[in-house]
Amino acid sequence: MDKNLKKPKNILFCIFMLVIVTISCGCTGEATAPSVINENNNKNDNNSITKDNRINNLENNLDKNVGYIEITDMAGRVVKVPKTVNKVIGLGSSLREVVYLGAKDKVVGIEVKEGDKKVGTRMPYIAANKELMDLTPVSKASSNYYYERIIKVKPDVIFIGFNSESADDLQEKVGIPVVVTYINPTGTGTQNNKYAQSLRLMAKILDKEERAEEILNKMEEYKEDLKNRATKSDKNPSIYVAGRVFGGVTGLTTTDPHLPSFEFLGSNNRANNVAYNISEVSNDCTVNKEQVISWNPEYIFVNSATVPKISKELKRPEFKSLRAVSENKMYTILPYCWYGFNEDNALANSYYIGKVLYPEQFEDIDPVEKADEIHAFFNGKPVYNELSDYNLKFGKWEVK
């Protein structure tokens, strides 16, 4: 590996935060131990559930009058869930897929960030379904749970995008089945397969199996269209993505060697070269500035949420000499990692990137119209204009 490269960062958890002009989304990975939080956010309150004051475990709390099935979740845990699920909570960035599956009417609680009026509407699945913001907040910062609220809203099942330890701990405290889902990036074959397996698992529990297949088939349809268009071009410009968010706003040197939007097009991603051995999967990776300068990509696509930070970096003399900067080939795209990973934004970005790189092959595509089509399919409503109000949008970036 090039000595200038830094090892990819393992995502422990991600924090969604609002920073002056722009916000960043924590892309949730493994969780830390959950904090015990009661209705008044007072951990010392006598009514809070502590390790010494737990309700009975799940097995003792199963309703003997309800039929159950056993499933194996994405952490390999065998969990008994009701055959019929009418109420659900999606924690740790798993609510997105509940919405994708058309089961928003079953949701009885959301995370604090998702219900925040200034933050939630920056997430496509919330922007399209604002009624979800009025639901009871049952978790803060993905892994800090309001146990009493969870029990009060009585979900039949809780989805969680964390590891088995977090799921076991939550399940033991609230006595409700907790199912681990896959909420990490897509991009490579292995990651895509895990996502499909997780979506089908959630669909089985929610009785939305037909919708899951519709989603997976539509995703493949879009990917095939993108690939067919791109391969008809004899152009192969070098490209690079900057500001790949993870747990906060990142800068020019944070990238992704397997960004899904690039993968769909088969584009010449500078960071995806076996000689550099950065990562075999889609992941946030940070390299030294010398490496970016050495790659000197023809086009740079920037997460639109990171523009304020990267604009400051581009004032440095060493970055002004980058080909993409000097030739005015800098472009902004929608955030892919934004409180978890937005498959809708990834596909919409790919059509915009294709339009920039291969204008003849994408001549009939209006990227905004395509984004609205994609968001409507996944979330039930077009939301591009609303996202653009927060400067989350496509565009040529005139670097000053």
- Residue 137, number of CB atoms within 10 A of its CB: 16
Note the pLDDT of residue 31. Answer: 32
Q: In this structure, which amino acid lies at residue 268?
A: N
Number of CB atoms found within 10 A of residue 204's CB: 15
Among 175-179, 213-217, 229-233, 284-288, name the one with the lowest average pLDDT: 284-288
The pLDDT score that the predictor gives to residue 3 is 40
- Widest distance between CA atoms in the chain: 71
The CATH superfamily holding the domain 54-214 is: Nitrogenase molybdenum iron protein domain (3.40.50.1980)
Residue 2 has pLDDT above 80, yes or no: no
What is the torsion angle, in degrees rounded to the nearest 10, for the CA atoms of residue 239, residue 243, residue 245 and residue 251?
150
pLDDT digits (tens, 9 = 90+) for 277-288: 677 778 778 888
**pTM to 2 decimal places:** 0.84
Q: Are 244 and 214 in contact (CB under 8 A)?
A: no
Residue 65: DSSP 8-state:
T
CB 245 within 8 A of CB 305: yes
Is the pLDDT reported for residue 386 higher than 70?
Answer: yes
**Whole-angstrom Cα distance, residue 339 to residue 106?**
21
In the chain, domain spans: 54-214, 233-396
Question: Residue 5 carries which DSSP code?
Answer: B
Percent of the chain scored above 70 by pLDDT? 80
Q: Which CATH number fits domain 233-396: 3.40.50.2020, 3.40.50.1980, 1.10.490.10, 3.40.50.1820?
A: 3.40.50.1980
Residue-level pLDDT at 16: 34
**The pLDDT of residue 393 is above 90:** yes
Using 50, 70 and 90 to split pLDDT, how confident is the model at 54?
A: very low
Residue with more model confidence, 356 or 50:
356
Mean pLDDT in residue range 208-222: 98
Question: Would you say 342 and 336 are in contact if contact means Cβ atoms under 8 Å apart?
Answer: yes
What are the tokens at 303? 């997460």
pLDDT value at 263 more than 90: yes
Identical fold between 54-214 and 233-396: yes
The H or E element that residue 377 is part of is helix 367-379
Helix (H, G, I), strand (E, B) or coil at 359: coil
Predicted pLDDT at 298: 95
* DSSP at 44: T
Run of H or E residues at 164:
helix 164-174
Q: How far apart are CA 159 and CA 99, in angstroms?
A: 13
